[in-house]
């Protein structure tokens, strides 16, 4: 998986003054890592948005700082404005190709489930991403999970069922649910209504004094 390229420039502005950078279409970022001095940088907002939309926090980004040699990184701590949803700050972790890294990788469900198609089950996705550990060169862009094994209602796929390359270690809880086919909600509601009606009809009839007189 090739690294995406992103240009950056050294940043002199710090603290509250960075709001002026944002007004100019620039986003303050930080480069850090093991044996790497923390360096304040700034990047173009549109370029950053485009790269992070594809890379997320699981794909290598080649950070080109001025005329320096490109630095391979992973995006971390993505901060967005609560209203506009644009990026307002991002950390870039400098990776070493011989040292393992952790990443959150998206989970994509593919295929069709017989329990859904033939029995009207409702497909529920649990985890939409899993945490992995591997060398930077072994990072994967996503995990595709076939739901074809879900043949009966209540069938479930958990993290332990996932098949990933031998070079990748899954750190997420093995028993965490990835996908499950729930029974049709209509049937469940009808059964519940039937139980309520039965409970009502099973209640003993209480005769009032006037009712007893009428029966007599």
- Given a cut of 60, is residue 167 above it in pLDDT? yes
Distance CA 67, CA 70 (A): 9
Q: What share of the chain is helix, strand, coil (3-state, %, to 5)?
A: 25, 40, 35
102-185 belongs to which homologous superfamily?
Answer: Ribosomal protein L25, C-terminal domain (2.170.120.20)
pLDDT (tens digit per residue) in 3-51: 899 999 999 877 777 888 888 989 999 999 988 889 999 999 999 999 9
* 3-state DSSP of 112-125: CCHHHHCCCCEEEE
Specify the pairing of strand 71-80 against strand 61-65. Answer: antiparallel
Using an 8 Å Cβ cutoff, are 42 and 28 in contact?
yes
For the domain covering 4-96, report its CATH number: 2.40.240.10
Q: Where are the alpha helices (DSSP H) in the chain?
A: 18-23, 45-55, 114-117, 185-201, 209-215
pLDDT of res. 197? 57
The mean per-residue pLDDT over the stretch 208-213 comes to 44
Phi, psi (degrees; rounded to nearest 5) at 129: -160, 155
Placement of tokens 């031998």 in the chain: 166
Cα angle value 36/37/39 (rounded, 5°): 115
User: Tokens at residue 182, please?
Assistant: 């729930």
The answer to whether residues 139 and 103 touch, using CB atoms and an 8 Å cutoff, is: yes
193 pLDDT tier (thresholds 50, 70, 90): low
Q: What is the pLDDT of residue 117?
A: 93
Q: What pLDDT is stored for residue 208 in this prediction?
A: 45
The pLDDT, as a whole number, for residue 31 is 96
- Domain positions in the chain: 4-96, 102-185
Q: Of 215 and 51, which is predicted with more confidence?
A: 51
Q: What is the mean pLDDT of residues 57-66?
A: 94
What's the pLDDT at 12? 85
Mean pLDDT, residues 208-215: 44
d(CA 139, CA 73): 12
Does residue 202 have a pLDDT over 80? Answer: no
Res. 204: pLDDT tops 60 = no
Q: In the numeric block, which tokens belong to residue 21?
A: 């950078």
Predicted structure pTM score: 0.76
CA angle, 117 as apex, 116 and 123 as ends, to 5°?
20
Q: φ and ψ at 64, to 5 degrees?
A: -95, 105
For the residues 64-76, what does the mean pLDDT come to? 92
Burial of 210 from C-beta contacts in 10 A (0-12 / 13-18 / 19+): exposed
The residue among 160, 81, 162, 153 whose CA lies nearest residue 119 is 153
């Amino acid at each position: 998986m090739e690294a995406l390229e992103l240009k950056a420039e050294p940043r002199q502005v710090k603290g509250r003054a960075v709001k002026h950078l944002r007004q100019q279409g620039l986003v303050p970022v930080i480069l850090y890592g093991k044996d790497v001095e923390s360096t304040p940088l700034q990047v173009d907002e549109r370029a950053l948005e485009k790269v992070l939309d594809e890379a997320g926090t699981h794909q290598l980004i080649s950070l080109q700082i001025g005329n320096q040699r490109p630095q391979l990184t992973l995006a971390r701590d993505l901060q967005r404005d609560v209203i506009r949803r644009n990026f307002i700050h991002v950390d870039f972790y400098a990776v070493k190709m011989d040292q393992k890294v952790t990443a959150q990788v998206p989970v994509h469900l593919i295929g069709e489930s017989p329990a859904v198609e033939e029995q009207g089950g409702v497909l529920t996705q649990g985890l939409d991403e899993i945490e992995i550990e591997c060398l930077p060169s072994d990072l994967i862009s996503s995990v595709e999970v076939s739901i074809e094994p879900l043949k009966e209602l209540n069938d479930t796929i958990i993290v332990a069922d996932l098949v990933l390359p031998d070079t990748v270690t899954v750190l997420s809880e093995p028993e965490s649910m990835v996908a499950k086919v729930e029974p049709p909600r209509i049937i469940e509601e009808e059964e519940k209504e039937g139980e309520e009606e039965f409970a009502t009809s099973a209640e003993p009839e209480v005769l009032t004094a006037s009712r007893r007189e009428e029966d007599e």
